[in-house]
Structure 1
Amino acid sequence: MSRLVVVSNRLPALGKGVAAGGLAVALEAALKDEDGLWLGWSGKTNDEAAAPRLQVEGRVTYAALDLTQEDIAGYYEGISNSVLWPLCHYRADLLEYSRGDMDRYLAVNDKFADALLPMLRPDDLIWVHDYHLIPLASALRDRGVQNRIGYFHHIPWPAQDMFRALPRARCFLSAMLSYDVVGLQTRADVRNLRDSVEAMRGTLEATTPPRGTRIGDYPISIDTEGFASRARRARNLPRIRDLYQQFGQRDLVIGVDRLDYSKGLPERLRAIEQLLDNHGGLHNRVSFLQITPASRSGIEGYDRIQQEVAERAGRLNASYGTLDWVPVRYINRAFSHSLLAGLYRLARVGLVTPLRDGMNLVAKEYVAAQDPEDPGVLVLSQFAGAAEEMGAALIVNPYDVEEVANAIARALTMPIEERRDRHSVLMRRLESYPVSTWARSFLHDLTPPETRERLSLQAADPP
């Protein structure tokens, strides 16, 4: 029977089971029922060449690959975070490219290929994840690998005109066509990638053997039932009980985002300020909690956004706060999934307003966490991939702070019947397309047709 081989930039935290949240939860659903292999960067640096360290948990073997400081500088901080990330999030003005970084990016993908090659079996299915490893299939094909290889792109794929700003754009597209299946989050992302391929097809065919690459949308989701259950249990956590008492009659608006310029945090705080300007009756009645774990410090774009958000939150509290009311609580650290689930359930409004996002699982977690008898309201950016599925949310343009402020005010005053109706529509979608269905759908398309029945991979309903 075929194994599933997962390759990602980082491995999940080992020794405590697969971590809750993000890619780890998504892939746990695909790996837990079959023997599997997961290769990724260990998070450690080592200037000596070494084979991956293997660790077995359950039926999965984890292969931890060390990188050098030069690898991290060029592959991770350079091309991945200073070129591909800003480009895919429509911030070409932040792009910082160098040929040296590109050489290192390709070399690290070769390093992943060399590490994986001796561990592969002829009928393994290989599933590569995200922009760090776009060239991996091409590197494996160069080494003679004929296995079926799929790639999932977790972040947005930019429109053709934006993609052309990427140095060596044809190199990346040629690498994409070395995969058998390429998955993206939304139909818009699929159109963008296909447009780029069509625009450059003549030159790509000269360098890439045609594989009949399938390009489709596979919107990632969450463990809906599990997260809803976690939120119900979290109501009894001592910290959540304390917060219920602390907020009292005040309505909680919550935002949870990694610190990143793509998340629209300054614009969000401007919307909160506009809300308080326009609705004096909300003073001392509403509190905004923004949880923002810091990330990628030392990269100029991230350092700037951290300073701007902190300063704007401070000014807003200085202008509107009173002795017994602070309108904004801005917290720069991570919380457990259980505590977050309890906070989501407590919050009257979930504010998810990125300027650009591949999907945004916070939006789905917020909905899953709600009490269906008295649910909160999701305010969601039209530029989040989740908006394509979650039209029953209040969809807003995050650049229009007046529109966002009005949507928050509407959410806070929405009749319970409308809140229940909107929540019911959103939950039906989440219950019909959980993360396990996302994984099964992709793997169904990656599996050769003649072996699908043997692997018991049933086709998922179309997203």
Structure 2
Amino acid sequence: MNRLIVISNRVTAPKGSTAGAQGGLAVALAAALRDRGGMWFGWSGEQTDQFNGHINFQRNQGVTTATVDLEEQDVQEYYDGYANRTLWPLFHYRIDLAEYERDFAGGYKRTNQRFADTVRPLVEPDDVIWIQDYHMFPLGAELRARGCDNRIGFFLHIPWPPRRLLGTLPNAQALVESMFAYDLIGFHTEEWLESFCDFARHDMGAVIEGNIARLGDRHVELIACPIGIDATEFAAMSQSVPARLAYRRMRDSADGRDMIVGVDRLDYSKGLEERFLGYERFLNEHPEERKEVFLLQVAPPSRVSVESYQRIRQSLEGLSGRINGAYADVDWVPIRYVNQGYPRDQLSGIYRAAKIGLVTPLRDGMNLVAKEYVAAQDPEDPGVLVLSRFAGAAEQMTDALLVNPYSAEEVSDALYQALRMPRQERVRRWEKLMAGVQEQDVTWWAETFLQALEKADMTVN
């Protein structure tokens, strides 16, 4: 089996146990590397006064990591700038928040060139390279320019925007053209894949033949391959001592009330403002449910240096305060709003204690919280997943209660339906959801993509 080189913006060394507060992608990539051997390369998250290409190698839990530090200007222009103030809002359909600055684009190109210069000497002839996400769209082309003829795949973990939205990005055609350096590009859903093809066909003259896009003398194969979780491991984790303690703590603090849980990074794409308004609508329309239910929203901050993220935090603090002020009583608060993260084992216990998992992003490439919530449930008495139809996960998880997160009425109605749902129907829906989560798990995702990459036709590129 060929060695695997994973390249991503950030590298998260595996923890001593699976209990660490690692994101779903970090857990997935570590699992793939343990299975195949290889190396995970990317930014350390640290800054240096002058970029020198020094690589810090570590080995943890069977995974070798190789990280580099970036200069402050790189971080400001490549990461805070082009990645998170230009690409992220645009690809999540928030053109109103996208910022187009030449310095951002220049820093993005420069930093990807630095990544290519640094990792190229580490690549052996038979290695398979798997590049992750929007931070590194042009990295494959940069590696090709440095003589790398290995199989190179790219996976996009966020949505691909519609053609007209992408057309607002300066030099959008150059960005897409650079992606034809890959042998395989993966998307979570057919919708994102079709949007890529639509732009390539109509704005660039590419020819789409089945799952192959051709542009001039180059071609790239395309695949819809939704990421999953390690469902077996997460279900077992929900029975661990920390999970049981978290479960008991939540049940004790609930004092007989039903808990609705939301767990999201603090981001405008997650629809948290709309979620709070939908919950407020529920409280207003169903006064008999007041004091019988509460919403726990876990929202650890992220990208705190970006102004739009500062604004969403201020907005949510104001909304939660207003709703609590309007509806709370001396012995009940309708919203528990928590700005910190929790280890995965504790989260599994929190999920298990919740009658409803409320996952309502305005737009999301996948959303693994929905799958974790399902995996953590008690098979005999499972909770109900309320899921945005605009999350990538909705394409697979059709037995959830699917809602339009922009509609406070739909969210309110779904909450009421979930609370009133008979146990027999809850079990039936959960069994179907769990079967899908187990079948298309993280191992399936990695194997499906990597097998397609190894079979990709390289005769043209």
Instruction: State the TM-score, normalizing by the size of structure 2.
Output: 0.94
- Take 1:324 and 1:15, find their aligned partners in 2: how far apart are those partners? 40
2:220 corresponds to 1:213:
yes
Alpha-carbon deviation of 1:449?
6.8
Gaps of 5+ in 2: 209-213
Residues 51-450 of structure 1 mapped to structure 2, 5 A cutoff: 51-57=54-60, 59-202=62-205, 210-233=217-240, 237-448=244-455
Other-structure match for 1:45: 47
- Take 1:76 and 1:300, find their aligned partners in 2: how far apart are those partners? 14
Alpha-carbon deviation of 1:209?
6.1
Contact 1:178 1:208 in 2 (8 A): no
Q: Matched residues, percent identical? A: 46
Contact 2:74 2:107 in 1 (8 A): yes
Contact 1:179 1:211 in 2 (8 A): no
- Take 1:32 and 1:86, find their aligned partners in 2: how far apart are those partners? 33
Query: Which AA in structure 2 matches 1:43?
Result: G
- Take 2:161 and 2:137, find their aligned partners in 1: how far apart are those partners? 15
Query: Which AA in structure 2 matches 1:143?
Result: R
Alpha-carbon deviation of 1:244?
1.4
Cα distance, 1:213–1:248 mapped onto 2, change above 3 Å? same
Other-structure match for 2:2: 2
Cα distance, 1:23–1:239 mapped onto 2, change above 3 Å? closer
Q: Give the stretch that moved more between structures: 435-444 or 12-21.
A: 12-21
Query: Which AA in structure 1 matches 2:273?
Result: P
Contact 2:261 2:357 in 1 (8 A): yes
Other-structure match for 2:29: 27
- Aligned residue for 1:322, secondary structure, equals coil
- Take 2:429 and 2:15, find their aligned partners in 1: how far apart are those partners? 40
- Take 1:256 and 1:414, find their aligned partners in 2: how far apart are those partners? 22
- Aligned residue for 1:232, secondary structure, equals coil
Contact 2:188 2:226 in 1 (8 A): yes
- Aligned residue for 1:177, secondary structure, equals helix
- Take 1:243 and 1:93, find their aligned partners in 2: how far apart are those partners? 39
Cα distance per residue 1:212-255 (max 9 Å; x no partner): 21111110010001111111235863343232122132000000
Cα distance, 1:347–1:78 mapped onto 2, change above 3 Å? same
Q: Give the stretch that moved more between structures: 91-100 or 122-131.
A: 91-100
- Take 2:136 and 2:359, find their aligned partners in 1: how far apart are those partners? 28
- Aligned residue for 2:387, secondary structure, equals strand
Cα distance per residue 1:9-39 (max 9 Å; x no partner): 0010356467543211111221112320111
Query: Which AA in structure 2 matches 1:161?
Result: R
- Take 1:377 and 1:257, find their aligned partners in 2: how far apart are those partners? 17
Cα distance, 1:437–1:46 mapped onto 2, change above 3 Å? same
Contact 2:156 2:188 in 1 (8 A): yes
Contact 2:355 2:383 in 1 (8 A): yes
Query: Which AA in structure 1 matches 2:306?
Result: I
Cα distance per residue 1:364-422 (max 9 Å; x no partner): 00011111110100000010000000000000000110111010010001011110110
Contact 2:234 2:375 in 1 (8 A): yes
- Aligned residue for 2:35, secondary structure, equals coil
Query: Which AA in structure 2 matches 1:93?
Result: D
Contact 1:234 1:240 in 2 (8 A): no
Query: Which AA in structure 2 matches 1:404?
Result: V
Cα distance, 1:2–1:211 mapped onto 2, change above 3 Å? farther
Task: Count residues in correspondence.
Answer: 450
Cα distance, 1:59–1:237 mapped onto 2, change above 3 Å? closer
Other-structure match for 1:454: none
- Take 2:347 and 2:109, find their aligned partners in 1: how far apart are those partners? 38
- Take 1:318 and 1:35, find their aligned partners in 2: how far apart are those partners? 54
- Aligned residue for 1:155, secondary structure, equals coil
Query: Which AA in structure 1 matches 2:363?
Result: R
Cα distance, 1:210–1:54 mapped onto 2, change above 3 Å? farther
- Take 1:171 and 1:374, find their aligned partners in 2: how far apart are those partners? 52
Query: Which AA in structure 2 matches 1:285?
Result: E
Q: Give the stretch that moved more between structures: 279-288 or 241-250.
A: 241-250
- Take 2:263 and 2:358, find their aligned partners in 1: how far apart are those partners? 8
Cα distance, 1:208–1:56 mapped onto 2, change above 3 Å? farther
- Aligned residue for 2:238, secondary structure, equals helix
Contact 2:243 2:345 in 1 (8 A): no
Contact 1:397 1:404 in 2 (8 A): yes
Alpha-carbon deviation of 1:58?
5.4
- Take 1:430 and 1:24, find their aligned partners in 2: how far apart are those partners? 18
Contact 1:34 1:59 in 2 (8 A): no
Alpha-carbon deviation of 1:47?
2.2
Alpha-carbon deviation of 1:298?
2.3
Query: Which AA in structure 1 matches 2:266?
Result: L
